[in-house]
């Protein structure tokens, strides 16, 4: 079985072209992971996800522990068998969802106790239990349990939150069951405070994680601040480990983060947008519900090779959304994921050619796209 490891193949400035090797296959980086929160990328079969060019997907500890349950998934052979997805799977630890979705939560040194948003059942999630659940799911990449610091937040509260997450990171690392080809990532926190981000990054590297994520961003602080926090975080992370920016984002967010040394991304934006009629194209963002598309024979994107763009017009997509037909969201989700995977492929090629800056300047801003964190 393949060891879990990361090799740097090329660089252009701080932008990195790498390869992540895992028990479930290799991932060429920079890479974007479609979000399959509840063991499904909404509206897509695994074969459809693969056809977009995706190499790795994300699922979520919080949602899967509540339904259908980690022990049940383990009995069914783990997430890979359940989803019919043979490639690598990264599982979010559940910390963000506990903070954003759970009801009547209370937090202390041990962990978080909350009531399920599904049925109100009382649940306690600790770093050890989060890692255990991810092991039961057979996640290729386990994420350390953390508190996603609220925004806005005072520096004092951000420091308390970050240091709690660092203590939880140590417990998560200790609870991880080492297996060939599997890894666990620590998560840099510290909100929008430079010194806290640096402290967090240095603390995590001392724990020797297999990879490092930057969390607690894209929560309302704005792109400029997000980039500033990456600028202060990534220089303190090891060059020989993958770096993952959680819950980001728009195409220009991704390009800017790659320029600051990030290798892995996830976001619900392309799939959520696909379900609401918003298309990402090489010319910018389109709303397929707009009347101007009603008689347009062109594909959504002339340069896209997805099934929808090869076989259907903007007029047809417009009709499907106006008629409330489920095929509209399916086709547009597949298109948006294909756009994101094409973007990542082009980023990799640009880094290899030493032309990343030139490529980055050519990527259109998608200002109409509403950022959707995790």
Residues near 94 by Cβ (< 8 Å), separated by ≥ 6? 60, 61, 62, 65, 125, 130, 133, 145
Q: 23 and 1 in contact (C-beta within 8 Å)? A: yes
Chain CA centroid to CA 240, Å: 20
Q: How far apart are CA 141 and CA 57, in angstroms?
A: 10
Q: Select which of 92, 146, 253, 263 is catalytic.
A: 92
Q: What angle do CA 320, 323, 328 make, to 5 degrees?
A: 25
Active-site residue flag, 92: yes
Q: 147 and 191 in contact (C-beta within 8 Å)? A: no
> With 0-12 CB in 10 A as exposed, 13-18 as middle and 19+ as buried, what is 120?
exposed
Tokens of 324: 């409330």
- Give the CB-side neighbour count of residue 115, counting CA atoms within 13 A: 5
Active-site residue flag, 263: no
Q: Select which of 12, 146, 253, 266 is catalytic.
A: 266
User: Which positions are catalytic?
Assistant: 92, 266
């Amino acid at each position: 079985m393949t060891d879990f490891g990361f090799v740097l193949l090329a660089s252009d400035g701080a932008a990195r072209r790498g390869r992540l090797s895992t028990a479930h296959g290799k991932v060429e980086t920079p890479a974007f992971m479609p979000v399959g929160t509840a063991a499904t990328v909404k509206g897509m079969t695994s074969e459809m996800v693969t056809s977009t060019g995706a190499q790795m997907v994300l699922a979520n500890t919080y949602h899967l522990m509540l339904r259908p349950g980690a022990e049940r998934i383990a009995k069914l052979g783990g997430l890979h068998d359940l989803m019919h997805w043979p490639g690598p799977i990264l599982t979010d630890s559940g910390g963000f969802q506990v903070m954003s979705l759970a009801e009547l939560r209370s937090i202390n040194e041990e962990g978080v106790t909350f009531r399920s948003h599904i049925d109100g059942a009382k649940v306690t999630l600790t770093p050890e239990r989060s890692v255990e659940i991810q092991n039961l799911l057979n996640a290729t990449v386990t994420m350390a349990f953390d508190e996603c610091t609220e925004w806005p937040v005072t520096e004092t509260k951000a420091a308390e939150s970050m240091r709690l997450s660092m203590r939880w990171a140590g417990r998560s690392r200790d609870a991880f069951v080492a297996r060939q080809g599997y890894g666990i990532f620590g998560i840099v926190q510290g909100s929008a405070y430079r010194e806290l981000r640096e402290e967090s990054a240095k603390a995590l590297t001392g724990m020797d994680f297999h990879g490092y994520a930057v969390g607690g961003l894209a929560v309302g602080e704005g792109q400029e601040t997000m980039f500033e926090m990456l600028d202060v975080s990534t220089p303190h992370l090891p060059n020989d480990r993958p770096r993952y920016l959680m819950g980001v984002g728009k195409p220009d967010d991704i390009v800017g983060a790659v320029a600051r040394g990030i290798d892995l991304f996830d976001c619900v934006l392309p799939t959520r947008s696909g379900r609401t009629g918003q298309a990402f194209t090489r010319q910018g963002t389109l709303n397929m519900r707009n009347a101007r598309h009603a008689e347009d024979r062109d594909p959504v994107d002339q340069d896209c090779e997805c099934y929808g763009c090869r076989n259907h017009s903007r007029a047809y997509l417009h009709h499907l959304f106006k008629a409330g037909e489920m095929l509209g969201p399916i086709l547009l989700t597949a298109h948006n994921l294909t756009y994101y995977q094409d973007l990542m492929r082009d980023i990799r090629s640009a880094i290899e050619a030493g032309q990343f800056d030139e490529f980055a300047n050519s990527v259109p801003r998608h200002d109409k796209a509403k950022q959707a964190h995790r």
